[in-house]
Structure 1
Amino acid sequence: MKRLCLLFTTLMLLVSAAPALAAQAQITWYGHAAFKVVTPSGKVLLVDPWISNPANPNAQKDLESLQKVDLILLTHGHGDHIGDTVEIAKKSGARLVAVPELQKAMVAHKGFPEKQIDRATTGSFGGTISLLDGEVTVMFVPAVHGGGMDTEKGPVYGGPPGGLLISVKNGPRIYHTGDTDLFGDMALLKGQVDLMLLCIGDKFTMGPQRAARAVEMIRPKLAVPMHFETFPVLTGTAEQFSKSLRTYGLELLMRRLKVGEALAWN
């Protein structure tokens, strides 16, 4: 009996001394360019939240579930990236992370709550900002694309388009390309990206072949294709992207997410 008690006590000590399982970051794709990032501590970030895009069959349910959102990050002012930003922000109180011109345009032309933007959540290309008490940092990255914003009175300037390098404490470094073509300075991000979320749809952005070249230049740990097959004109496919990656020996880096699927990151 004494030996059993001693064994039980030893096991309990070992269990109590073992480190708790670390919480994971989670990245969910809602279709098109819309993603949710949940940090290990439970903070919620949305990037280009067009949740109600036509590729998302659960759009209404997903929108209703977004009651707690800390930050909304926008790459540029096109409607398919602004998406449901204002609705979500008014409901959740989320602050807006974007370049200054886009922040101002969102308030002036889209009705984004002015009290939910400030200097702490804005920056420009090459600059890095610290958010959520240092749990998240964001670096603004250039993109080759347009910067207009459609309004009821016609197009207005919505600021320069960009991408975002989002670094999560105890989580991944995520590069969301926004809408862009391939450009040489992408190579400067090599070694800084764990998870690359990149457009492959062609016509308005780089297609599968040029997207694969971008992956080859940056060498992330994982590459998730986005901004494809939302509309018929976006003809680039995940299969073409995988085939193009194969020419560089990088096809194993691709992870295709289904709409609504969450990727856990240790």
Structure 2
Amino acid sequence: MKRALRLVLLLFPLALLLAAPTLGRAETKTALTWYGQSAFKLTTPSGKVLLIDPWIVNPVNKNGAQDLAALNKADLILITHGHGDHVGNAVEIAKKTGAKLVANYDLGRALVQYGGFPEKLAERSGLGFPGGELNLLDGEVKILLVPAVHSSVLEAAPGTPLAGKVVYAGTPIGFVISVKGGPTIYHTGDTDVFWDMSMIGNLNKIDLMLACIGGHFTMGPSRAALAVKLVHPAEVVPMHFGSNPLLTGTPKEFGAALAELPFDGPRPVVREMKVGETLLLSGR
């Protein structure tokens, strides 16, 4: 008995030493912050920062100016299409942080030629077309470009050719963002529901869907609920509503429409975010 006790006492420090790398180490999660409309900041477990449709200074974000001033770090800027409420403050942020552009190839060219976006930050590696998957930030994220049913034009900025004119800005898209060690997030961009959304859900296990619900220019609550049924994510955040009087869809209406639909398997959870709120996310 004494010999066994001595053996345990000898081996216990070794066991602690082997376990030390994992003791007290908290899991680092992916953070998602909503700025209103379709604007999000995604921070990966390693600290890389992605901004999506960064209209930071918008009517529903009371702290927009302060939030924009505080954005001192960004690695990638993802833009779904050329409308002003999605390009937003992208040019200013890119010039300030050196963040590289991720967008439809044609939108990238238009932003450089007519939008004032720094050409050196609009590399071919970050530009593509629907169906293309971009492996970025040394494998930290993979970004799949997927279709959206909408339009995409850009108003040429002062000091650029065709200033004040509207120019073509490629086809609209959404993004499926897969974070290494984190979740897979589908940002729909501006869109109506379309049948191929089922393929997005079938080919990608979506942890979180960011779905436009405002109506008028995009799908409203009922059609957005159908889109969620096709994609079947684990969770869904409603976005793109309330920023102007025409976007009348509400999260309450969306949640009610979703509750009426039958689902095979677990029902997606609606997570209604407040402007400025941050969610901590894990992968499935």
1:94 corresponds to which of 75, 84, 99: 99
- Corresponding residue of 1:16: 20
Q: Letter of the aligned partner of 1:237 in structure 2?
A: T
**1:243 alignment partner, SS class:** helix
Larger radius of gyration: 2
**1:30 alignment partner, SS class:** strand
Given the superposition, is the C-alpha separation of residues 31 and 158 from structure 1 closer, same or farther in structure 2, using an over 3 Å criterion? same
For each residue in 1:88-140, what CA deviation from the matched residue of structure 2 results, as whole angstroms up to 9, or x when unmatched?
A: 00000000001111111111111111111111111111111100001101111
Q: Letter of the aligned partner of 2:22 in structure 1?
A: A
- Corresponding residue of 1:107: 112
1:259 corresponds to which of 264, 275, 281: 275
Alpha-carbon contact 2:232-2:268 (below 8 Å) kept: no
**Structure 1: gaps spanning 5 or more residues:** none
Q: Tell me how far apart the structure 2 counterparts of residues 252 and 89 of structure 1 sit (CA, whole Å).
A: 35
1:171 corresponds to which of 182, 193, 198: 182
CA-CA distance at 1:190 after TM superposition: 1.7
Q: Letter of the aligned partner of 1:247 in structure 2?
A: E
1:244 corresponds to which of 257, 266, 270: 257
- Corresponding residue of 1:180: 191
State how 1:1-266 maps to structure 2 within 5 Å. 9=13, 12-13=16-17, 16=20, 18=22, 20-151=25-156, 152-191=163-202, 192=204, 193-248=206-261, 253-266=269-282
CA-CA distance at 1:13 after TM superposition: 4.4
CA-CA distance at 1:189 after TM superposition: 1.4
CA-CA distance at 1:185 after TM superposition: 0.3
The TM-score, its normalising length taken from structure 2, stands at: 0.88
Q: Letter of the aligned partner of 2:98 in structure 1?
A: G
**Structure 2: gaps spanning 5 or more residues:** 157-162
* CA RMSD, Structure 1 to Structure 2 (Å): 1.9
The TM-score, its normalising length taken from structure 1, stands at: 0.94
Q: Tell me how far apart the structure 2 counterparts of residues 149 and 13 of structure 1 sit (CA, whole Å).
A: 59
Q: Tell me how far apart the structure 1 counterparts of residues 155 and 117 of structure 2 sit (CA, whole Å).
A: 15
Q: Name the stretch that deviates more: 115-124 or 68-77.
A: 115-124
Q: How many residues align?
A: 263
Q: Letter of the aligned partner of 1:255 in structure 2?
A: R
Amino-acid identity (%): 52
